[in-house]
C-alpha cells in the first residue's frame, strides 16, 4: 500500500518543493522524494537474464564462505543477542548452527524444535531453537529464486521466509516468501522501508493470498526486482506486482510507458542504490499464548523444518 500522508490536493500544492525531474538513469529515492516528475517515455528494462549466483546445497556441509547461520548485526559477527534472537518480543526462538542440517541428497533442512532444557543467548533464554542462512554476498536488482518446501502449520506460530535486506540509508526489505505465523496455505509478500537507523518502520507494501497448502510439496518462490516493479511469483505464476509510482489518484502505474506528469513514489519501494543480502530461514512467532520459558501450552506443529533445494540469482 502507498502511505496516505500525501492527500491529492496537498500533493499538487507542494509539487514544486517536494518533487524532482528525473530520468531512468538518475532515479531519486522514494523516501527522499515522495513526489516525482517524468517526461513521457518507455522505461521498460529488458534483455536476457544471466545466472550470477547459485547454491544447490549438494555438499554435506555449509559453504561458510558464502553463508552465515546468524544475523551479522554485531561488530564482532554474532557476539551479541540480536544476531541469534533477532525479532525481540515478536519471536520465541534462538537461531543455532546445529539446526542447519544437510540431508546428503541436495536438500538443507532449517529445523525448528523444542528443547527439554532452556537454551541461553546472553540475557535471553528459550526452549525453542530454529535456523537460518544469511548470505555474506549482497546483490543489486535482479531475479531471486528459492525452491523450497515450507513446514506444515495450521496455527499462528511457524514463520518460514525467503527475503532480501540491506541498505544504504533507510534500509530496504523484500519478502519474497513469508508465512508469518499463519496457516501454510497463506502466502505473504512484502516491501518494507525503515528509518535511517534501520530500527523503525517507515512504509509497507504487502498482501496475503490463500493458495494451495504449500507444505505438501516443493515450490519455486521468486521476485523480479527492477527500477519500476517488483513482481512476485509462485511456480512462475505472477501473484502480485508492486509498482514504484502511483498517479495522483493513488492508482498504481503498472505499465512501463509513463506519461508526462507528476507521480507519487511508493515509499516502501527499495532504495535505488540498495544492495541486499539473501536470507532464508524459519522462526517461531510469539502469539502471546506461549512462553519461551515453558509455561503455557507448547508451540504446535514442531519439530518441523523448512527444506531448501536451491537458491539462484539472475541479473540482466
**Which CATH number is 224's domain given?**
2.60.120.200
Asked if residue 181 has pLDDT above 60, the reply is yes
Asked if residue 5 has pLDDT above 90, the reply is no
Asked if residue 142 has pLDDT above 90, the reply is yes
pLDDT category of residue 168 using cuts at 50, 70 and 90: confident
* Assigned domain for 72 exists: yes
Q: Which three cell numbers stand for residue 69?
A: 547461520
| pLDDT confidence of residue 3 | 39
State the residue range of the domain holding 110.
Answer: 46-242+267-315
| pLDDT confidence of residue 197 | 83
* Assigned domain for 33 exists: no
CB-based burial label for 21 (10 Å; 0-12, 13-18, 19+): exposed
DSSP result, 76-137:
TBT-SHHHHH-SGGGB--EE-GGGEEE-SSS-EEEEEEEEEEEEEETTEEEEEEEEEEEEEE
What is the per-residue pLDDT across 253-270, written as a single tens digit (0 to 9) for each?
Answer: 999 899 999 999 999 999
Q: What's the pTM?
A: 0.91
* Assigned domain for 76 exists: yes
What is the per-residue pLDDT across 228-258, written as a single tens digit (0 to 9) for each?
Answer: 999 999 999 999 999 999 999 999 999 989 9
* Assigned domain for 89 exists: yes
* Assigned domain for 2 exists: no
* Assigned domain for 302 exists: yes
Distances in Å between the Cα of 188 and the Cα atoms of 183, 199, 207, 212, 223 are: 11, 22, 6, 13, 12
How many domains is the chain partitioned into structurally?
1
* Assigned domain for 35 exists: no
Distances in Å between the Cα of 1 and the Cα atoms of 186, 269, 312 are: 19, 10, 28
CA–CA separation, 13 and 178 (whole Å): 39
CB 219 within 8 A of CB 235: yes
* Assigned domain for 248 exists: no
CA–CA separation, 112 and 91 (whole Å): 12
Amino acid at each position: 500500500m502507498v502511505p496516505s500522508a500525501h492527500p491529492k490536493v496537498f500533493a499538487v500544492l507542494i509539487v514544486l518543493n517536494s518533487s524532482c525531474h528525473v530520468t531512468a538513469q538518475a532515479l531519486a529515492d522514494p523516501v527522499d522524494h515522495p513526489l516525482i516528475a517524468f517526461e513521457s517515455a518507455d522505461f521498460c528494462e529488458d534483455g536476457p537474464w544471466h545466472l550470477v549466483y547459485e547454491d544447490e546445497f549438494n555438499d554435506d556441509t555449509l559453504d561458510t564462505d558464502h553463508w552465515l547461520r546468524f544475523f551479522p548485526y554485531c561488530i564482532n559477527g554474532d557476539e551479541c543477542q540480536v544476531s541469534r534472537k533477532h525479532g525481540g518480543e515478536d519471536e520465541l526462538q534462538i537461531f543455532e548452527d546445529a539446526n542447519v542440517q544437510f540431508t546428503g541428497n541436495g536438500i538443507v533442512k532449517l529445523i525448528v524444535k523444542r528443547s527439554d532444557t532452556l537454551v541461553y543467548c546472553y540475557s535471553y533464554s528459550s526452549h525453542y531453537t530454529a535456523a537460518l542462512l544469511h548470505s555474506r554476498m549482497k546483490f543489486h536488482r535482479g531475479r531471486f529464486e528459492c525452491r523450497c518446501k515450507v513446514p506444515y502449520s495450521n496455527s499462528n506460530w511457524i514463520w518460514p521466509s525467503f527475503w532480501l535486506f540491506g541498505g544504504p540509508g533507510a534500509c530496504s526489505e523484500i519478502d519474497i516468501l513469508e508465512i508469518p505465523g499463519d496457516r501454510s496455505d497463506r502466502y505473504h509478500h512484502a516491501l518494507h522501508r525503515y528509518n535511517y537507523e534501520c530500527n523503525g518502520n517507515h512504509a509497507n507494501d504487502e498482501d496475503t493470498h490463500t493458495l494451495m497448502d504449500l507444505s505438501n510439496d516443493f515450490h519455486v518462490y521468486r521476485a523480479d526486482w527492477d527500477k519500476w516493479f517488483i513482481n512476485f511469483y509462485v511456480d512462475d505464476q505472477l501473484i502480485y506486482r508492486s509498482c514504484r509510482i502511483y498517479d495522483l489518484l493513488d492508482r498504481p502505474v503498472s505499465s512501463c510507458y509513463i506519461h508526462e506528469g507528476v507521480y507519487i513514489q511508493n515509499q516502501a519501494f527499495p532504495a535505488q542504490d540498495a544492495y541486499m543480502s539473501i536470507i532464508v530461514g524459519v522462526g517461531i512467532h510469539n502469539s502471546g499464548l506461549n512462553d519461551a520459558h515453558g509455561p503455557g501450552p507448547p508451540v504446535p506443529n514442531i519439530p518441523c523444518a523448512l527444506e531448501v533445494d536451491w537458491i539462484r540469482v539472475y541479473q540482466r
